[in-house]
């Protein structure tokens, strides 16, 4: 199958409990446009004199111009077909360098029954391909950019992990999926997770980049229409009934 390098977004099927839209900031939208179009071969719109809109499977990924004097760095992950990790890792490694921990550039998360690899985009964001083997999303197609199924994680650093988890439980009503509520927590489910770590925590895999709160606007499928602002943080969560 050919690579998708077009500039038109394709509508996807939307089910409950997933990230519909993720809105972030970037300092250089033109460089981001080139990365997502040419390296990840995803459909893009804009990014020259306005926001960059990327079709990442079921998720609409939007980058807006960063506030003056800032250069936000985020961590987020893409779900890929659970049976295509080896092929996906080979595909992305041929297009951009993988991040390593020592000599390792692939990671097996046994409690999650998942394999992952990491790389960066033009803004230095830490991106992840993760194959979650418990999800029924196996594919018979050779892997390319169309194998990117959705954004499945976004990092939301907080001063106190437990406090951030409590706010997500009390507001949007998201449930703890994994973690100890002290050093790490993943809130949501395998198709859409907020990754909560302490501010200053250094992101996997090479732990060069410290986690810091930057503007995030997240739209998720849920059981009601609602909007939440996380007190003390530049995080907004919109819930859309599907």
Summarised one tens digit per residue, pLDDT across range 48-66 is 889 999 999 999 999 999 9
Paired residues of 188 in beta bridges: 193
Strands of the sheet containing 52-56, edge to edge, are 44-46, 52-56, 59-65, 19-26, 216-222, 235-241, 226-229
Above pLDDT 90, what percent of the chain?
Answer: 88
Decide which of 199 and 222 is more confident. Answer: 199
- Structural domain of 71: 19-241
State whether residue 203 is helix, strand or coil. Answer: coil
Looking at residue 10, its pLDDT comes to 30
Report whether pLDDT(97) > 70: yes
In a domain, 176, yes or no: yes
Q: What's the mean pLDDT in 191-212?
A: 96
Helices (H), the chain: 29-34, 85-93, 161-170
Looking at residue 49, its pLDDT comes to 85
State whether residue 116 is helix, strand or coil. Answer: strand
In a domain, 14, yes or no: no
> How is 207-238 classified by DSSP, letter by letter?
--SBP----EEEEEEESS-EEEE-TTSSEEEE
Report whether pLDDT(185) > 60: yes
Lowest mean per-residue pLDDT among 17-21, 24-28, 140-144, 155-159: 17-21
Q: How far apart are CA 50 and CA 184, in angstroms?
A: 35
Lowest mean per-residue pLDDT among 5-9, 98-102, 106-110, 187-191: 5-9
Nearest-Å Rg of the Cα atoms of the chain is 17
In a domain, 148, yes or no: yes
Q: What's the mean pLDDT in 66-90?
A: 97
Q: What's the mean pLDDT in 117-144?
A: 97
Which candidate, 151, 136, 146, places its Cα nearest to that of 91?
146
CATH code of residue 206: 3.10.180.10
State the pairing for strand pair 150-155/192-196. parallel
Looking at residue 17, its pLDDT comes to 65
Report whether pLDDT(157) > 50: yes
In a domain, 217, yes or no: yes
Looking at residue 184, its pLDDT comes to 97
In a domain, 1, yes or no: no
In a domain, 31, yes or no: yes
Q: Is residue 101 within 8 Å of residue 50, measured between CB atoms?
A: no
Query: What are 47's two structure tokens?
Result: 């990014």
Q: What's the mean pLDDT in 24-45?
A: 98
Report whether pLDDT(6) > 60: no
Q: What's the mean pLDDT in 5-31?
A: 68
Report whether pLDDT(201) > 60: yes
pTM assigned to the model: 0.92
- Site of tokens 């394709």: 10
Looking at residue 222, its pLDDT comes to 84
Looking at residue 11, its pLDDT comes to 30
Please tell me the total count of domains within the chain: 1
Question: For all residues of the chain together, what is the average pLDDT?
Answer: 92
Looking at residue 223, its pLDDT comes to 84
In a domain, 88, yes or no: yes
Report whether pLDDT(37) > 90: yes
Report whether pLDDT(122) > 70: yes
In a domain, 3, yes or no: no
């Amino acid at each position: 199958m050919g690579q998708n390098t077009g500039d038109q977004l394709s509508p996807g099927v939307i089910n409950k409990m997933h990230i519909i839209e993720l809105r972030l900031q970037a300092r250089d939208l033109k460089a981001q446009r080139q990365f997502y179009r040419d390296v990840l071969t995803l459909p893009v719109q804009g990014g020259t004199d306005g926001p960059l809109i990327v079709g990442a499977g079921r998720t609409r990924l939007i980058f807006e111009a960063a506030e003056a004097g800032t250069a936000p760095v985020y961590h987020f992950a893409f779900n890929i077909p659970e049976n295509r990790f080896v092929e996906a890792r080979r595909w992305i490694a041929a297009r951009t360098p993988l991040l390593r921990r020592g000599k390792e550039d692939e990671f097996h998360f046994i409690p999650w029954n998942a394999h992952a690899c990491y790389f960066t985009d033009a803004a230095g964001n830490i991106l992840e391909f993760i194959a979650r083997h418990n999800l029924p999303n196996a594919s018979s197609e050779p892997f390319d950019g169309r194998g990117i199924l959705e954004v499945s994680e976004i990092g939301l650093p907080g001063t106190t992990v437990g406090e951030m988890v409590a706010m997500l439980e009390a507001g949007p009503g998201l449930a703890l999926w994994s973690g100890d509520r002290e050093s790490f927590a993943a809130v949501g489910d395998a198709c859409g997770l907020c990754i909560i770590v302490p501010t200053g925590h250094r992101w996997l895999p090479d732990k060069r980049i410290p986690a810091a709160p930057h503007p995030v606007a997240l739209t998720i499928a849920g059981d009601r229409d609602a909007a939440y602002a996380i007190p003390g943080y530049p995080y907004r969560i919109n819930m859309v009934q599907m």
